[in-house]
Amino acid sequence: MNECWCYRWTVVRRPLKDDFMVKADTIPAEVRERIHRVATELYAKSGYHALPALDEVRKCANVDMNVASLVLKEWRKIQPVSPAPLGSKLPTPVEEAGLAAIDAVWQHAQQFANQHLRAAQAGWQTEREELDALRAELAEAFERQAAELEATSQQLSMVLALNARQQQELERAAPRLDESANRLGETESRLVAVERELGETHDKLAQSYDDVRALRQQCDELRKECDNLRKQQAELQEELRVQRSDKESAHRAVASLRQQLQSASGGNPASPASAQEAVADVKETAELEAAAAYGQSVSNRLTTSSRAADLIVRSR
């Protein structure tokens, strides 16, 4: 029976024999290697004549007996069997066969070595030619690179010199640049003032436009008045022309009457009534001429006023 009854009615299993055994697959690799190393050292110390004892291996490897037993069994299985030593003298047939075999091997070895030597010499020659070509290419590339480096160095020198000159020019131009900046500031200030003046001028111009519109209206009114006055002048001139025509007819009639009076009176002076009529005719003629002169003066003043208004409008 593997079970027994104990106090408090608890079932307790008795330990079996297998519980104290260790399985081989549960042994760590490091412990296994340590046991193998210790067994190999002990076997070597004995001159490979006696296998190491289990207790000695356990003590040296510092493991328990079960682990040492399992691992030592594995180690013994992989150890080769030690053969018995042979005699020191080589048998004659064996020696002759060995010499013949060695001679044949030596001949084949010489042929193989010579073939490989010739192949190696051909390879070395090819490699040497390739190395010579590569050396020539490297030399040419080095010379070409040296020439490019020299050209680059010259260009770099030129660029550095140009940079130095530009730096000097920049240092010389710095004061002028500051002066230009100052002038630019002044110019901007003047520009602001000019813009302000331009705004004022624009306002004045707008006012001037209003004045011009007013003057144009006045000019239009003056032109209308001029047109009216011209019409009146034309009417006065027409009336004056008619009156001049009537005056000339009256003068001719007066001259005819004077001749008739002179012929009728026999050379006596004209009567006072005839003299008064003549004076009245002269006065009428003077009045007509004065009216014509006044009309011409009015026309001239209107023309002058119109021209002055046009000039004012154009100037604005």
Q: Could you state, in order of their start, the residue ranges of all structural domains in the chain? A: 3-77, 192-315
* 160 has a pLDDT exceeding 90: yes
* 6 has a pLDDT exceeding 50: no
Residue burial 258-281, b: 16+ Cβ < 10 Å; e: rest: eeeeeeeeeeeeeeeeeeeeeeee
In this prediction, residue 8 has a pLDDT band, given cuts at 50, 70 and 90, of very low
Q: CA 185, 187, 190, 192: dihedral to nearest 10 degrees?
A: -70
Q: How far apart, in Å, are the Cα atoms of 220 and each of 19, 125, 285, 311?
A: 140, 120, 37, 14
Which tens digit of pLDDT belongs to each residue from 198-210?
Answer: 888 888 888 877 8
Counting beta carbons within 10 angstroms of the beta carbon of residue 158, is it exposed (0 to 12), middle (13 to 18) or buried (19 or more)? exposed
Mean pLDDT of 17-29: 66
Which range is least confidently modeled, 8-22, 123-137, 278-292? 8-22
* 316 has a pLDDT exceeding 60: no
The mean predicted confidence, pLDDT, of the chain is 77
What distance lies between CA 26 and its chain's CA centroid? 72
Which tens digit of pLDDT belongs to each residue from 107-156?
Answer: 989 898 999 888 888 988 888 888 888 788 888 888 888 899 999 999 99
Higher per-residue confidence, 2 vs 219: 219
Beta carbons within 8 Å of 23's beta carbon, 6+ residues apart? none
User: How much is the pLDDT for 300?
Assistant: 74
Mean pLDDT of 268-272: 49
Which range is least confidently modeled, 21-35, 230-244, 253-267? 253-267
Distance CA 106, CA 52 (A): 44
In this prediction, residue 277 has a pLDDT band, given cuts at 50, 70 and 90, of low
Higher per-residue confidence, 111 vs 92: 111
Q: How far apart, in Å, are the Cα atoms of 211 and each of 205, 217, 218, 304?
A: 9, 10, 10, 21
**What's the distance, Cα to Cα, between the start and end of the chain in Å?**
143
Which range is least confidently modeled, 109-123, 227-241, 291-305? 291-305
Q: How far apart, in Å, are the Cα atoms of 233 and each of 226, 238, 242, 284, 294?
A: 10, 8, 14, 19, 9
User: How much is the pLDDT for 90?
Assistant: 67
Which range is least confidently modeled, 10-24, 50-64, 194-208, 288-302? 10-24
In this prediction, residue 30 has a pLDDT band, given cuts at 50, 70 and 90, of very high
Mean pLDDT of 79-87: 56
* 259 has a pLDDT exceeding 50: yes
Which range is least confidently modeled, 113-127, 161-175, 190-204, 244-258? 244-258
In this prediction, residue 187 has a pLDDT band, given cuts at 50, 70 and 90, of confident
User: How much is the pLDDT for 154?
Assistant: 92
Mean pLDDT of 32-53: 89
Which pair of structure tokens corresponds to residue 136?
A: 């020539």
Q: What is the DSSP letter of 5?
A: E
Distance CA 275, CA 280 (A): 9
